Every structure is written in structure tokens, then in C-alpha cells.
Amino acid sequence: MLATLPIVAFRTSIWTKQVVWHTQIGGRILTFMKDELSEEQANAILKALDDAIEQGPWEESNFLRVIGKNLREIREHFASQVQTSGQGKEKIASHLANRIALRSGQREIFVALYSSSGSSLSSWERIITNLPGQMISRPIYANEKDVKEIIGTKENKVNEGYVSIYVSQTDILPTSPEKTPTDKLGKPLLTLKDRALKLENLNRFIHMTGTYKYVGGRLVKISNHELEKPA
């Protein structure tokens, strides 16, 4: 039932795991309380929020831009809440995975991404999900400062982002200096073997709106105090 109701507002409590939903039917606001949402219900709610963000006319006026911004914040907050129960273990596991990666012949690289719907997190989620099979068209950098510099030259930065991901050293193809590809600023680009990018090795997604973890196909925003120090 929840998946078919238009959502007006919601709030969650990470301590009681209680979710309070306010929905509007025929001009009347009804309130539902549920101790815990199933994964299917949570995904249905995320999809409804994603559709509203992607299909709404949020750039047509200042008023609508404010509403669109608030809607994106609601979406980010909800995505963060549904992941809360596992984030502590995930943070520890991620930190350990990063340290193990650096010790086992892997290195961190940075892949530039573009979305024509850059204000929609669901658009970035689809791009990241398809990244392993579409890496040939993506600029790949050895240094994070280089990808930041190229994004700095773009006019519409909301449509730009990049991921930090670990790859095996042996998956980076060696090239001679004269054959090394470069971006328009002259920064060197890496060339990888096919299927070198694996989503389980993805560390973070960086966008002008913040830094995100990729969890179960969803982007979850990381607060400043949660940002991990480099391994």
C-alpha cells in the first residue's frame, strides 16, 4: 500500500527504527506508523522520490529550484536512514578494505563521469552501475587533483562528478610518454584492461553536492564527520 500512496512527508528515528508517514488522499492527510520498512518498501519510496526529482520542473523558477533542492535533501536523508543500521560495520569494512587494497597490489584511481541530469542522484546511480561495461569512454586519472582541475573548467558543474575506485596494478596498461593520452589541460590519462573496474572496489563518488558511498546500488551521502581519512 505504501508504494502506491503519494508521499507528502516523513520522518524517521534511528533510535526506535520507527517511521512515520504522512500521505494525502482526496485532500485528507493520513498518518501511518511502522516500526521498520521492508527493503521492497524502502526501494519503492526511493524510486518515487527519484521520479519526482527527475521529472519535476525544478529549474523553471527560483521557487521551484528551492522545492527541488528540498526534495533532493529529503531523498538523501531517507537513503541515509535506510542504510543506518549497517553503516557502522560498513565504515569499518570499507576502511579495512582500503588498507588491504593498498597492500595487495592495488591502487586508487579516479574516473570522471558526466550526466545530463546531474541534479538527479538516480541518474548518477545508473551511470555508476553501468560503469564496468562503459569505462572505455571515461577519462581515468591517476591523481585526484587532475580530475578536480578538469571539472573546474566545466560550465555546468552539476553535471560533472567522479568516482574513486581501486584497481589492480596489473590492470593498468603501460604506455610510452609519446602515446599516453591526455585531457584538454594536458593531464595524463590512464588506460585500463577491459573489465578492470569492479563496483565492489568503488570507494566513493564525489559531486558538487557532496561525497557519497555506493551501497547496494544506491548513493548515500557522507556527512563531514563521517568522511574517512585516507588509509
**C-beta atoms surrounding 86 within 10 Å:** 12
Lowest mean pLDDT among 11-20, 37-46, 82-91, 135-144: 11-20
Q: What is the percent of the chain where pLDDT is above 70?
A: 69
Same-domain pairing of 17 and 62: yes
Q: Could you tell me the residue range of the domain that residue 118 belongs to?
A: 87-226
Which tens digits make up the pLDDT trace of 165-178? 999 989 999 999 88
Residues 102 and 179 in one domain: yes
Asked if residue 38 belongs to a domain, the reply is: yes
227 secondary structure, DSSP code: P
- pTM beyond 0.95: the answer is no
- The answer to whether residues 208 and 144 belong to one domain is yes
For residue 109, being part of any structural domain is answered with: yes
Domain assignment present for residue 26? The answer is: yes
Among 193, 198, 204, which Cα is nearest to 228's?
204
Digit-coded pLDDT (tens) for 189-221: 999 998 899 998 999 999 999 999 998 889 998
Do residues 52 and 118 both lie within one domain?
Answer: no
> Are 59 and 159 in the same domain?
no
Q: Flag whether pLDDT at 22 surpasses 80.
A: no
Last residue of a domain, one of 82, 111, 132: 82
Query: Helix count (H) and strand count (E) of the chain?
Result: 5, 9
231 is a domain residue: no
180-188: average pLDDT = 95
Q: Say whether both 136 and 165 belong to one domain.
A: yes
Residue 8: φ, ψ to 5°: -95, -45
The cell numbers describing 11, all together, are: 520522518
78 & 116 share domain? no
Residue 184: pLDDT above 90?
yes
The number of folded domains in the chain is: 2
What is the mean predicted confidence (pLDDT) over 72-87? 67
| Model confidence band, residue 53 (pLDDT cutoffs 50, 70, 90) | confident
Residues 113, 192, single domain; the answer is: yes
How much of the chain exceeds pLDDT 90, in percent?
39
pLDDT tier for residue 36 given thresholds of 50, 70 and 90: low
Say if 73 falls within a structural domain: yes
Residue 106: count of CB within 10 angstroms of its CB: 19
Q: Does residue 168 belong to any structural domain of this protein?
A: yes
Map residue 204 onto helix, strand or coil.
strand
Task: Name residue 23's amino acid.
Answer: T
SS3 138: coil
Whether 92 and 76 share a structural domain: no
